[in-house]
Amino acid sequence: MNTEPLLTVSNFSVVYDVDPPVEAVSDVSLTLHRGEILGLAGESGCGKTSLAYGIQRLLKPPAVIPSGSAIFHDESGENVDLNALDDAAMRRFRWDKASMVFQGAMNALNPVATVGKQLGDVFETHRPRMSKAERTEESAQLLDLVGVGRDRLRSYPHELSGGMRQRVMIAMALALKPQLMIMDEPTTALDVLVQREILQQISDLRKQFGFSVIFITHDLPLLLEISDRIAVMRQGRIVELDTASNIYHHARHEYTRTLLGSFPSLTGERGGFVRGRSEPAATAVSTATTSAGGQA
Ligand SMILES: Nc1ncnc2c1ncn2[C@@H]1O[C@H](COP(=O)(O)OP(=O)(O)OP(=O)(O)O)[C@@H](O)[C@H]1O
C-alpha cells in the first residue's frame, strides 16, 4: 500500500461554543495516505462530520477550532497549511485540491438547470480559459465516467433517479481532478443495490485517478467493504485506526468490538463472529454486507 501522506491532521479539536460548550472533536491526529479510502466510523454525534468539516474550515460559529493543524501535501511537493489560507485561497483549495460530497447532496442540484449546465458551470468558474465546446465535452466525459451517460447532459434533475442524481454530484466533485474527496454519508438515502454500485464505482475511479477518499458513515459493514483503513471515533476521539481487515478480525478496542457487534449481519446469534478468522476479509465482508442489505 502507498503510504505517502496526502493529509496530516495533528491534535485537532472542535468545540461548539454553546452553554455548556460541546467538545465535538478532541485532540485527533491522523495521516491520510495518497490514493487510500479511509473510513470514518462511529455512532451519530461522535464528531465525524465536525472533524471532516473542520479540516476544510467549513464550520460556522458557534464552532471554534481551539487547537490543531491540517497540512495538505500537494502533488507539486508543496505543503499547504489549511489554517493559514485566507478565504479566497481556501475556496480554491476546496474545489481544486479537495472536493466534498455532502449528506443529501443529490437534493442540492438546481432543479431549473440541466445537469450539463451545472457541470459546465464548474468549469466556467474554475477553468475560465476553457471554451464552451471543451466544457461540454468534459461534462459529457464525466457523465460517462460515473455511469450516468452523456445522453443525460440535457436532463433536468427531476428526470433522474436518486442514484443518478447522486452520481451527477460525484461527477461534479471529480470535475477538477481533486487529490482528495470527502464523502459524508453519500449513499445513505439510496437503496442498497444502488449504493453498492456507486461505491464500487468510487473505488474504481480512485484507482484510475489516484485520489484519496475520506468516507464518513455510521454503516460499519459498508466501510469494511470499501475502506483500506478505518478510523473508529467515539465521543470526539479516534479510539482505533487500522486496516479494514484488522478492524474486522482483530479489533483491539472494546468499543470497536461493541460497534461490530451491533450489526447483526456481522455477528452470530450470540454476538460472536460468524466467519472464521482465516477467511479472507474481502470475501467475508462482502458477503456480510450483502446479507445486511437483504435484511434492510
Ligand atoms: N451547531 C452546533 N451547536 C452545538 N453542538 C453541535 C452543533 N453541531 C454539532 N454539535 C454537537 O457536536 C457533536 C458532534 O456532532 P457531529 O455532527 O460532528 O457528529 P457525527 O458523528 O457526524 O454525527 P451524525 O452522524 O449524526 O452526523 C454532537 O454532540 C452534536 O450534538
Question: Ligand 1: which atom is nearest the Cα of residue 103?
Answer: 27
Residue labelled with grid coordinates 476544510? 56
The minimum-distance atom of ligand 1 relative to the CA of 43 is 21
Say what the pLDDT of residue 218 is. Answer: 86
Cell of 241: 485506526
pLDDT tens digits, residue range 245-284? 999 999 999 999 999 988 877 755 433 333 333 333 343 3
Q: Higher model confidence: residue 2 or residue 127?
A: 127
- The rounded mean pLDDT for the chain is 87
Cell 456507486 identifies what position? 198
* Structure confidence at residue 132 as a pLDDT band (50, 70, 90): very high
**What is the model's pTM?**
0.87
Residue among 16, 56, 182, 215 whose CB has most ligand 1 atoms within 8 A, to mutate:
16
Residue 286 has pLDDT above 50, yes or no: no
Share of the chain above pLDDT 70, in %: 89
Q: Assess contact for 83 and 70: CB atoms under 8 A.
A: yes
- Output the pLDDT for position 294: 33
Q: Is the CB of 46 under 6 A from ligand 1?
A: yes
**pLDDT tens sequence across 54-97:** 999 989 999 999 999 999 999 999 999 999 999 999 988 988 99
Question: What is the 178 CA–ligand 1 centroid distance (Å)?
Answer: 27
Q: Is 104 in the pocket of ligand 1 (CB under 6 A)?
A: no
CATH no., domain 5-101+181-262: 3.40.50.300
Is the predicted pLDDT of residue 110 greater than 80, yes or no?
Answer: yes
Whole-number Å distance, alpha carbon 46 to ligand 1 midpoint, is: 7
In short, whether 237's Cβ falls inside 6 Å of ligand 1 is no
The DSSP-derived string for the chain is ----EEEEEEEEEEEE-SSS-EEEEEEEEEEEETT-EEEEE--TTSSHHHHHHHHTT---TTEEEEEEEEEEE-TTS-EEEGGG--HHHHHHHHHHTEEEE-TTGGGGS-TTS-HHHHHHHHHHHH-TTS-HHHHHHHHHHHHHHTTS-GGGTT--GGGS-HHHHHHHHHHHHHTT--SEEEEESTTTTS-HHHHHHHHHHHHHHHHHH--EEEEE-S-HHHHHHH-SEEEEEETTEEEEEEEHHHHHHH--SHHHHHHHHT-GGGB-TTSSBSS-TTS-HHHHHHHHHHHHHHH-
Ligand 1 atom nearest the C-alpha of 14 is 12
Quote the CA–CA distance of 77 and 8 in Å, as a whole number. Answer: 14
**Is the minimum distance from the CB of 50 to ligand 1 under 6 angstroms?**
yes
Ligand 1 centre distance from Cα of residue 152 (Å): 37
Is the pLDDT at 289 greater than 80, yes or no? Answer: no
ipTM: 0.96
- pLDDT higher than 50, residue 39: yes
| pLDDT score of 201 more than 60 | yes
Nearest atom of ligand 1 to the alpha carbon of 233 = 21
Beta carbon of 285 within 6 Å of any ligand 1 atom? no
**Distance from residue 66's CA to the centre of ligand 1 (Å):** 16
Q: How far is the CA of 49 from the centre of ligand 1 (A)?
A: 7
Query: Which range among 205-219, 226-240, 274-288 shows the weakest confidence by mean pLDDT?
Result: 274-288
